[in-house]
Structure 1
Amino acid sequence: MSQRIQSFRDIASQYDVVLCDVWGVLHNGVEAFSHASEALAVARAAGLTVVLITNSPRPHPGVKVQIRGLGVADDAYDRIVTSGDVTRALIADGPKNIHFIGAEKDLALLDGLGVEQVALEEAEIVVCAGLRDDEAETVEDYREEMAKLAARKLPFICANPDLVVERGHRLIACAGAIAKLYEDLGGTTRIAGKPHRPIYEKSLAEARDVRGAFNHSRVIAIGDGMPTDVRGAEAFGLDVLYISGGIHAQHYVEAGRTDEAKLEAFLAQENAHPKWWMPRLQ
């Protein structure tokens, strides 16, 4: 059974490197969780190296600007690695005529890769960063488009494997939900972000660049997403601190309190074994 902790300080001495999720742990898309930034800053002051590991489709410079604007402190981390960073390698290695799905703000994903955006009928590959308008659209709005692309058997690169994220008190669909629809329609996807290995390998390489060599057993991953943060870190052999107050809270939180029996049942159902848990990082 996972152990409840009151403060990250309680376990920090057991680790040298922290791989911390961003959306859902450090902010909710509207404002930063100040206690979470403070916890990471205190850990860094104690000698730990903190790499933020996020399924954002944006390359890391854009994420740094975004989270600073939300109130995440610069001293909370050493490096940022995004799904967009590792996905760019997939795009660079693929065909150059792409059908892009996503908002205009996500176009930095394609910068400098020599690709051309073309109409659906002319595309050789699909690159999806998210919904074009996630405030107004749902994944079902993409069914007809995905059916046409899947019928052509085009490879589909997903730049953000998350199914949903919190935005304030709402859950917003992400590119991972469109990728799932594409797979359900018989299409094939390519993904490098969480829970897949490339983003973890890149994150640990960044940590080594900061501090030098370290033991794999002294790395902890922090996250709130079961299919991405938890499953990915566990598959990579890392200890996990599960942030229970995130996107899955409806399964075990009632009237603002965590029902620990329901939480345990949820983790068992998900075949997840985080070493630690706490409602919010602090």
Structure 2
Amino acid sequence: MTVRSVEVELGVGAALPRARRRGFFERHQSRIRALGSIVVVFALWELIGRFVITNRLFFVPLSSVFASAGDLWARGELQLHVRTSFLEFALGFGAAALAGIALGAAMAVRRALRDYLDPWVAFLYATPTVALAPLFILWFKLGIESKVAVILLVSIFPILLNTLTGIEGTDRHLIEAARSFGARPMQIFAKVMLPSALPVIVTGLRLGLARGLVGVVVAELFGAKAGLGYLILYSAQTFDMAALFAGVLILAVAGVVSSEALKALERRLAPWRFVEVER
């Protein structure tokens, strides 16, 4: 009996095209669901704004938000606000990511350092950032430095704590196996502990990213002359709901795009975590 006859007997040949089709849809199932949910929510937003909540002081349809964003873009204001906010965010979140991962890793491998810093991490993490924003303005004046400091403060702790937890949660059997092969402490950290903690670190980055975008708005509530937070505040004070929602929507889209970028980075750096999911 030939291989082809066996395939025909078992129905494998006929099943392969269907399996390929199912594989295509399965591979893109998450994206299709996400896109579908976005379309549904946007459609409901438009319908509610047009037929349910018709008072423009409380709610506006999505088409009005896009029209307001287009008007701001045509006047050159939106570009200024976006550029200002994302420069502040890039500097603040970048500094928080570097400092959070470095400090979390150091606290995970140095017990004494963790004992010294643990109370201060808990203290600062529980401190309301809104209360500290005016203080940062007094320290760093009205320039970009005060905004970067606020964003760094609100972003760093999820990254730090997730890095600490991820490294401490490394499987001890893996560490002992590396030691049995003569690996030095730095090699164990770089080849075993850090890759093991990578998914948790990426989760911390995603949490810190979301908090950092909120920090942009908080930082620009005090003494800012440009930025999406300033646009949101000014629009609220002038009852321009369309411009207000435009600023909120831009920040939300930025959060989604950045989160997906971190997911893609995790897939590239830790592909073994997604093998079972993609089968």
| TM range, smaller chain | under 0.3
TM-score by length of 2: 0.26
Q: Hey, which of these two has a bigger chunk of strand by percent?
A: 1
